[in-house]
Chains A and B, each alone.
Chain A
Amino acid sequence: MARYILRRLAFLLVSLALASVVLFVLLRLLPGDPANALTSVGAAPEQIAAARHSIGSDRPLPEQFAHWIGQLASGDLGTSFISSLPVGPEVGARLRVTVPLTLAAFVLAVLIAVPAGFLAAYKRRTWYGALLNGVSQLGIAVPVFWLGMVLIAVFALNGGWLPAGGFPQDGWAEPAEAMRSLVLPVATIALVMSASLIRYVRSATLDVLGSDYLRTARALGSSFGRAMWRHGLRNAAVPVISILGIELASTLLGAVVVESVYALPGLGSLLATGIAQHDYPVIQGVLFVSTLAVLLIGFAADILQRIIDPRLRGRLSGGAR
């Protein structure tokens, strides 16, 4: 296992290096000169050249890349072209909205999806089993931003129980207000996420229910609950954890849309502004931090799977199936 962790760690580092090269190159393909954002329309060529020089975009690409990696190595995400503020603290501030939003939605989605998915499989011949399955079919077809709009209309505009959007100016210094403003966004993400999770949990449970080992355990005199607890849970968890990792990562990054619906000052809105202003250090910083998070989540999911299922340990990445 220790050997596996080392190999997987090396894979993580290589992926991170690869991802940062891709990120850097992809960004340089964006049309538009960031120096334009710094100078007024019709600026003299010397002014543009000076602006380019000041942000370093006149230097050769490999040199710019080396400079960026050097900064990263010392924990510096660079300085925004537009606001001249360091990117690191800004990303940190935005994470205080995006991380609680993602984690709360994730936990809520798991709490909904695991029992619901199990019931949808175990009670699939009853009306509520079929209903659960139908609701999850409906759920995966609902666009997350539209669900957000509907929830705002019902709970904020009509009911007036919760804020329609925004985040308190002082952030978590006003914990009650901050939490109130996250209730609807968390519910929005969790509902959409649990719809697809239910299908995976249901499918994994069906596999377990039809398995020979469960039948054997029952034949040897285990109660159903004990057989499920000892054998079923562990087997069903393996594919589900792999999906959970992907879902958590995509929620973190996909929060862009939900943050836009609810006007939340999170990582997503920082990225959107960065893209609109060609603010390379901001885009690079946000994408680097989120890529790192995605890779770490994948790392954790792979390790967790191999603790649960030793049969997977020969394989570098990914889970069952």
Chain B
Amino acid sequence: MSRPSTRHSATLIAGCVTAGLIALLALVSLLWVPYAPDDTSGGRLAGPGGGHLLGTDKLGRDLFTQLMTGSRIAFEAGLGSVLIAAAIGITLGVLAAFTRGWLDDTLAALLDILIAFPTLLLAMLVVAARSATLASAVLAIGLAQSAVVGRLVRILVKRVLAQDYITAARTSGTSWPRIVAGHVLPNIWPTLVVNLALQFGLAILAEAGLSYLGLGAPPPNASWGRMLQEAQATFTTAPAGALAPGILLVMLVIGVNLIADGLRDTLDPAARGRR
């Protein structure tokens, strides 16, 4: 089966190129942007060209500059949320997997209820309780996603714990912390990494949704979601502002999803061809 493996590495490469382009944009924005984010000297809703690659928004700010800052915010949102989700989710999932009886049932039921609550709604509550900043949004999304990660980890760990080599390790006197570090985590990480990559994409979409509702990072460091919200009224007269952030957003999420698919095929050959 040499053909599938080349096709799958192609998936991984396509994903890396797509997401990498936007990562590059984000990295460059740390060092240099064409205009200051709050520079309104460009004239309102100028078309592409004339010193502004993609034109300006309704306040005269350079669109390309905002797109670059937006890409940085997207990465911050994705990474931050996934880190929080992984930290809480893995801890909860491992703990739940080691308990038995009603405590396990209760934890599992709690995670199920949390999952049934959409990320966005939970995020709206957290953001409303704190204030509309990127940190609030990231915290909220990370918390909501930790339930999904927690449930997955619980199932994966339970599956590993049922294996004979765990019984063998126990009978030979290995301590639980060593079993978790030595046997459990190495066995679950391929599936976990793929899921975290998918969560990264979902976190970016959720942050964009929150920003669209005005609950994300405040201007002038606007995220793509806020840019889209601001450009909605002028979609037909100045389409660049309403299209470009959306296209980058879709590109980044597709790129990350392709990376997840590619990783799944590379790390977990049993799942090859599924999904």
Contacts and interface: CB of A to CB of B under 8 A. Distances in A.
Interface of A: 11, 15, 18-19, 26-27, 29-31, 137-138, 140-146, 149-150, 152-153, 157-158, 199, 202-203, 206-207, 246, 249-250, 253-254, 256-257, 260-261, 271-272, 275-276, 287, 290-291, 294-295, 298, 316-318
Interface in B108-131: 108-110, 112-113, 115-118, 120-121, 124-125, 128-130
B35 interface: no
A256 B121 contact: yes
5 contacts: A27-B125, A149-B228, A157-B236, A253-B121, A291-B117
A29 B160 CA distance: 39
Q: Is the interface of A mostly helix, strand, loop or mixed?
A: helix
Given A143-B209, A298-B112, 19 more contacts: A11-B109, A26-B129, A29-B129, A30-B128, A138-B250, A143-B205, A145-B212, A153-B239, A157-B235, A199-B275, A203-B275, A246-B115, A250-B118, A254-B120, A254-B121, A256-B213, A257-B213, A287-B121, A316-B109
Given A26-B125, A145-B228, A260 B117 contact: no
A149 B209 contact: no
Nearest to A252: B118
A29 to B, nearest CB: 6
Q: Which 5 A-B pairs have the closest CB atoms?
A: A141-B253, A146-B246, A250-B118, A275-B128, A153-B235
A318 B273 contact: no
Interface of B: 105, 108-110, 112-113, 115-118, 120-121, 124-125, 128-130, 201, 205, 208-209, 212-213, 225, 228-229, 232, 235-236, 239, 242, 246, 249-250, 253-254, 257-258, 273-275
Contact of A141 (B212, B229, B254): B254
A257 B108 CA distance: 29
B152 to A, nearest CB: 10
A143 B116 contact: no
A29 B124 CA distance: 13
B115 A141 contact: no
Contacts of A149: 228, 232, 235, 242, 246
A257 B212 contact: yes
Contacts of A26: 125, 129
B147 to A, nearest CB: 12
Contacts of B232: 149, 261
A162 to B, nearest CB: 15
A254 B118 contact: yes
Contact of A142 (B120, B250, B275): B250
Contact of A317 (B108, B125, B253): B108
Contact of A246 (B116, B125, B235): B116
Contacts of A138: 250, 254
B113 A19 contact: yes
B274 A153 contact: no
A30 B108 CA distance: 27
A206 B274 CA distance: 7
Contacts of B113: 15, 18-19, 295
Given A249-B116, A257-B213, A317-B112, A140 B257 contact: yes
A155 to B, nearest CB: 12
Contacts of B213: 256-257, 260, 272
Contacts of B120: 253-254, 256-257
Contacts of B112: 298, 317-318
A146 B228 contact: yes
A203 B275 CA distance: 5
A70 B110 CA distance: 25
Nearest to A278: B128
A106 to B, nearest CB: 15
Contacts of B249: 141, 143, 146
Contacts of B228: 143, 145-146, 149
Nearest to A321: B155
